[in-house]
């Protein structure tokens, strides 16, 4: 057993014994660490805030690889107060944490944490959580082996794109299109932008509501059909809509 400090985000938690919790922290470079947080449910516990869902900071713990670690202390980097007072944003954070856990488990990639981290911070800053979430969803596709080709027609390589085929896995040009319905050019262009943008550098997200919702519909349908990921919090988001 060693004492370590890791940057991370609490992606889920469950009650443990009378006043404690087991928290799962998605960390920057040590994967998901399951951790006992002793007595954290007591009002005066110094571990109370760092053991809440979405707690984002540096965690100090007795680390046991492949077993439950024990939380010693934590320093919160951002309390996410705007998000935590808004049920809509909380719902998106819940979904993003659940999705990131699933994608991490499939890919074991260290790229997942920085994506989740920048998404949470942008949502806290006030950027549209639906757009931010769609961007993350698109960028996660390659880690679960179902990336879409949004560079050229998947059939012939042409750049004269008229639609997207989920079935064929990406953009389709006018010549190769069979029965796929045409898709608005703005939607097609934004999908590509979503899949390449550096979330941490976003400073303007002025997207027409109908276009935004169309993109959300496409991505949701793609996940439902191809990802194999089932999500309780996604269902809740759909109900919110």
The residues that touch Zn ion, with contacts defined as CB under 5 A, are 153, 155-156, 158, 173, 176
CB of 153 to Zn ion, least distance (A): 3
* Least CB distance to Zn ion at residue 72 (A): 58
Burial class (CB in 10 A: 0-12, 13-18, 19+), 66: exposed
| Smallest separation (angstroms) from Zn ion to the CB of 143 | 27
Q: For residues 112 and 173, which CB has a smaller minimum distance to Zn ion in the complex?
A: 173
Angle separating helix axes 129-140 and 185-196, nearest 10 degrees: 70
Nearest approach in angstroms of CB 31 to Zn ion is 40
Cβ atoms 43, 49 nearer than 8 A: no
The C-alpha atoms of residue 36 and residue 177 are separated, in whole angstroms, by 54
Whether the Cβ atoms of residue 74 and residue 59 lie closer than 8 Å to each other: yes
Measured from the CB atom, is 82 or 175 closer to Zn ion? 175
Q: Between the CA of residue 45 and those of 73, 74, 221, what are the distances in Å?
A: 10, 12, 43
State in angstroms the smallest separation of the CB of 148 from Zn ion: 15
167 token code pair: 């079935």
Rounded to the nearest 10°, the torsion over CA 99, 208, 218, 241 is: 60
In the bound state with Zn ion, the residue whose beta carbon lies nearer, of 90 and 161, is 161
Nearer to Zn ion, 130 or 155 (CB): 155
Q: Is the Cβ of residue 176 or residue 188 nearer to Zn ion in the bound state?
A: 176
């Amino acid at each position: 057993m060693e004492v370590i400090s890791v940057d991370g985000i609490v992606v889920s938690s469950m009650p443990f014994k009378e006043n404690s919790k087991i928290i799962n922290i998605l960390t920057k470079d040590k994967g998901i660490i399951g951790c006992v947080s002793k007595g954290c449910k007591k009002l005066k516990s110094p571990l109370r805030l760092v053991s809440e869902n979405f707690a984002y900071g540096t965690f100090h713990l007795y680390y046991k690889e492949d077993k439950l670690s024990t939380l010693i202390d934590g320093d919160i980097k951002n309390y996410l107060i705007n998000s935590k007072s808004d049920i809509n944003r909380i719902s998106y954070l819940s979904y993003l944490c659940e999705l990131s856990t699933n994608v991490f488990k499939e890919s074991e990639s260290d790229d997942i944490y920085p994506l989740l981290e920048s998404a949470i911070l942008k949502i806290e800053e006030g950027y549209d959580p639906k757009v931010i979430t769609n961007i993350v969803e698109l960028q996660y596709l390659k880690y679960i082996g179902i990336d879409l080709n949004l560079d050229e027609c998947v059939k012939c390589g042409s750049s004269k794109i008229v639609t997207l085929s989920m079935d064929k896995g990406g953009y389709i040009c006018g010549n190769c299109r069979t029965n796929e319905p045409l898709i608005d050019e703005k939607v097609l262009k934004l999908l590509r932008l979503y899949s390449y943008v550096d979330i941490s550098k976003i400073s303007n997200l002025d997207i027409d509501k109908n276009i935004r919702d169309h993109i959300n519909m496409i991505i949701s349908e793609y996940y439902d059909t191809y990802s194999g990921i089932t999500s309780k919090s996604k269902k809740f988001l759909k109900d919110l809509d």
